[in-house]
């Protein structure tokens, strides 16, 4: 069978000891192979997935960038954070998401970066993670539902990828579209009225800000499926729903994207959605937040504690 003959191909020497051209060729091979979706190759695809998983692990843990990781922040408990999820494609119950992700296949995973740019690109998420040096950053995370956490993400600045595709002058927004795979995501069938796929967006200046990252890992490991494997955006000064999980498309556009939450309820989930303790949600206060692991209630900070870095973006003009 072809998969037996091909198997050694996927167990080539590790990335570190493979000459770069050979490594790239294998990537190219895996990409074409993986994305054909041919039934003949289904068994081989399983083996391929193992190899991708093994490759992914080599990138973690990444070195912490202390300039973006305040020493006074104490990490939330890993087990609690990775099993308390908002991921409606799987379940609306935060405790149940983790139990419903087993059918979700996250490698190979093409991501399209396109729209108003000179050099559009489709690249596998894991290849992306190998392309840009990964680093760890300890960020505050604040859900609009008034819970929060302190999370060590692994990833790279979104602006590095955007610079790579060379945005055109007309690009004013970045639109993020996340996966919609009904056979793999049992929550979709229960929320048929929602405007799937889950879509989010940022203004160009927000997307280009050094705090905005694409995360491929968390707690020193590849992202668990329930946290948005294989790649998600993280925008730490905005409510959590701006941070789309399991991205399939990043598009530069001149139009403000219609987001899922804004479409459903614009008063509750406006496009900008900066964390602001002074502006209550129509149904609850945003002044404080419950820490997800300890249950402690702490005061929410303007721009989630990132006012010094991003406040400038929101200064009203004269
Ligand atoms: N595709 C997708 N992305 C999503 C969501 C979702 O339901 N689907 N939920 C958002 C919300 S409301 C939050 S708070 C965070 C939760 O991320 P976490 O589970 O990693 O903590 O993911 C955001 N990204
Ligand atoms: Mo959220």
CATH of the domain at 82: 3.90.420.10
Q: Which among 109, 245, 246 is the best mutation to test ligand 1's pocket, defined by most ligand atoms within 8 Å of the CB?
A: 245
CA of 241 to the centre of ligand 1 (A): 5
CA distances from 305 to 275, 276, 285 (A): 9, 10, 18
Q: Which chain residues have CB less than 5 Å from ligand 2, an ion?
A: 86, 143, 240-241
Tens of each residue's pLDDT in the chain, 318 residues: 333 333 233 333 334 333 344 444 445 544 544 444 455 556 776 677 677 777 777 899 999 999 999 999 999 999 999 999 999 999 999 999 999 999 999 999 999 999 999 999 999 999 999 999 999 999 999 999 999 999 999 999 999 999 999 999 999 999 999 999 999 999 999 999 999 999 999 999 999 999 999 999 999 999 999 999 999 999 999 999 999 999 999 999 999 999 999 999 999 999 999 999 999 999 999 999 999 999 999 999 999 999 999 999 999 865
pTM above 0.95, yes or no: no
272 domain-assigned: yes
What's the structural domain count of the chain? Answer: 2
172 and 205 belong to one structural domain: yes
CA distances from 284 to 100, 262, 292, 298, 302 (A): 29, 18, 18, 15, 17
DSSP-based three-state secondary structure for 36: helix
25 and 74 belong to one structural domain: no
Pick from 117, 123, 128: which is nearest to 163 by CA?
117
Length of the chain equals: 318
Pick from 308, 225, 307, 314: which is nearest to 272 by CA?
314
9 domain-assigned: no
- How far is Cα 223 from Cα 291, in angstroms, rounded to an integer? 21
* Residue 189, domain extent: 65-317
Residues 6+ apart with CB under 8 A from 91: 97, 99, 100, 186, 187
């Amino acid at each position: 069978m072809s998969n037996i003959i091909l198997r050694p191909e996927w167990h080539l020497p590790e990335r570190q000891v493979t000459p770069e051209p050979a490594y790239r060729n294998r990537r190219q091979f895996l990409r074409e192979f993986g994305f054909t979706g041919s039934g003949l190759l289904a068994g081989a695809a399983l083996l391929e997935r193992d190899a991708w998983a093994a490759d992914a692990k080599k990138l973690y843990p990444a070195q912490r960038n202390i300039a973006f990781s305040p020493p006074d922040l104490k990490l939330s408990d890993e087990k609690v954070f990775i099993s308390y999820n908002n991921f409606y494609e799987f379940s609306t119950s935060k405790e149940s998401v983790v139990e419903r992700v087993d059918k979700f296949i996250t490698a190979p995973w093409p991501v399209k970066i396109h729209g108003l740019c000179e050099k559009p690109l489709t690249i596998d998420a894991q290849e992306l993670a190998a392309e840009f040096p990964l680093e760890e950053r300890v960020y505050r995370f604040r859900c609009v539902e008034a819970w929060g956490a302190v999370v060590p993400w692994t990833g790279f600045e979104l602006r590095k990828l955007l610079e790579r595709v060379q945005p055109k002058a007309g690009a004013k927004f970045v639109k993020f579209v996340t996966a919609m795979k009904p056979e793999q995501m049992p929550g979709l069938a229960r929320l048929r009225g929602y405007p799937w796929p889950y879509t989010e967006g940022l203004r160009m200046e927000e997307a280009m800000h050094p705090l905005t990252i694409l995360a491929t890992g968390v707690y020193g490991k590849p992202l668990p499926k329930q946290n948005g494997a294989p790649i998600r955006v993280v925008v730490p000064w905005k409510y959590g729903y701006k941070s789309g999980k399991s991205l399939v498309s990043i598009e530069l556009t001149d139009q403000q994207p219609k987001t899922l939450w804004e479409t459903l309820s614009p008063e509750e989930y406006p496009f900008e959605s900066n964390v602001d303790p002074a502006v209550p949600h129509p149904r609850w206060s945003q002044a404080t937040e419950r820490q997800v692991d300890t249950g402690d209630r702490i005061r929410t900070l303007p721009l989630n504690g990132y006012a010094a870095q991003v406040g400038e973006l929101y200064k009203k003009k004269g």
